[in-house]
Structure 1
Amino acid sequence: MQGAEKGKQPQLDGSGLTIGIVQARFNEGITNALFDACFKELVALGVDANDIDHVTVPGALEVPLALQTLANRGEHDALIALGCIIRGETYHFELVANESGAGVTRVGLDFDLPIANAILTTENLEQAMARRTEKGTDAARVAVEMAQLVSELTINDDDMDILMNGDAE
């Protein structure tokens, strides 16, 4: 299998990829910074700005449904989830953090689609501010790398025929 060599460097060429981004508006100052860093890095990695779809939703709990809707379209090589959940004084933080994270993961697995989860979960605003640019950049890199990896690992129909029938044309 190509690309399975130990220690192979990740593929960070976003040329030809189509990426969808779902951004939660709650804590918008942080999520806008996440988006800006993410978008800038995607373009730097070669993703055409016209091949980046960006939608916003009210908060982190709404992110998985928007991701699922985009995944259903079958138009993206990878998706990115952006949001910010800051711990408060109630259990609500745990609920939102756990459920949004589980929803993002489920969509990726259900659709065999890479999703970079950059929904920050922090104790306070200062932690969120310290992570916003790096996490946005990381999300772009993860999306491109995983889109390339999944594409490389996916067995196409011709390869499957060879495996099943044992004869190559």
Structure 2
Amino acid sequence: MASNTQHHELALPRLDAPVRLLAVVAPYYKDITDGLLSGVRATADAAGASLDVIEVPGALEIPTAVGLAARSGQYDGFVALGCVIRGETTHYDTVCNDSSRALTLLGLQGVCLGNGILTVETMAQAQVRADPAGQNKGGGAAAAALHLVALARRWAATPQKAAAHDVIRLAGELEGQGKA
């Protein structure tokens, strides 16, 4: 059940260079993903980012497509969009858990992405979350990707280097003796 709790949203980051985003969409519930994509487009426009869109068969294919595109080096960030509505079988749990886990693993590898795959109990819940004038989860996923792009650029611009006096030993080396 949704509550009327107010949530804080970060302002969009200021980006010093153009950003190229890719939205990977699983359009199984096309009306829902169209709403999510509208939110992504508005957020990308507000940030001055360019946006490409591709479609894949389902939510389980989204992480693979993101991984392939990330390795291409053509994009700065990614937005995953889809909708999984609980049905009569455990397939819902598999799709939700595996797509989320795979996206998390991509993020831990340094891929800047926002997860806009809705996991809901009913179509009505999906409609509220996908509506750009409602919860705007598509716009939120795009904002998350943009924030991660900004962080990645910030940290790439200020690499940490070992000082000349720092001693770095490899595993198995003893002080003053080289390898053990």
Tell me, yes or no, whether TM beats 0.5. Answer: yes
List alignment gaps of at least 5 residues for structure 2. Answer: 1-9, 166-180
- Once the two structures are superposed, residues 58-79 of structure 1 have per-residue CA deviations (whole angstroms, 9 ceiling, x without a partner) of 1101101100111111122211
Cα distance in 2 for partners of 1:151, 1:37 equals 24
1:11–1:148: 8 Å Cα contact kept in structure 2? Answer: no
Give the secondary-structure state (helix, strand or coil) at the position aligned to 2:89.
Answer: coil
What letter corresponds to residue 123 of structure 2 in structure 1? L
Percent identity between matched residues is: 32
1:148-167 to 2 correspondences below 5 Å: 148-154=150-156, 159-160=159-160, 163-165=162-164
Structure 1 residue 108 displacement after superposition: 2.1
Q: Does 1:35 align with 2:37?
A: yes
Q: How does 1:125-164 map to 2 (within 5 A)?
A: 125-132=123-130, 133=132, 134-154=136-156, 159-160=159-160, 163-164=162-163
Deviates most, 147-156 or 137-146: 147-156
Q: Secondary structure at the match of 1:121?
A: strand
Secondary structure of the residue that 1:127 maps to in structure 2? Answer: helix
Is 1:46 paired with 2:45?
A: no
Q: How many correspondences in the alignment?
A: 151
Aligned to 1:82: 81
Give the root-mean-square deviation of aligned CA atoms.
Answer: 1.9
Sort the Cα spacing of 1:63 and 1:70 in 2 relative to 1 into closer, same or farther, 3 A: same
Q: Compute the displacement of 1:28 (Å).
A: 1.1
Q: Find the residue that maps to 1:13 and give its secondary structure.
A: coil
Match among 119, 122, 131 for residue 117 of structure 2:
119
Structure 1 counterpart SS, 2:14: coil
Cross-structure match for 2:95:
96
Q: Partner of 1:4 in structure 2?
A: none
- Whole-Å separation in 1 of the counterparts to 2:142 and 2:115: 10
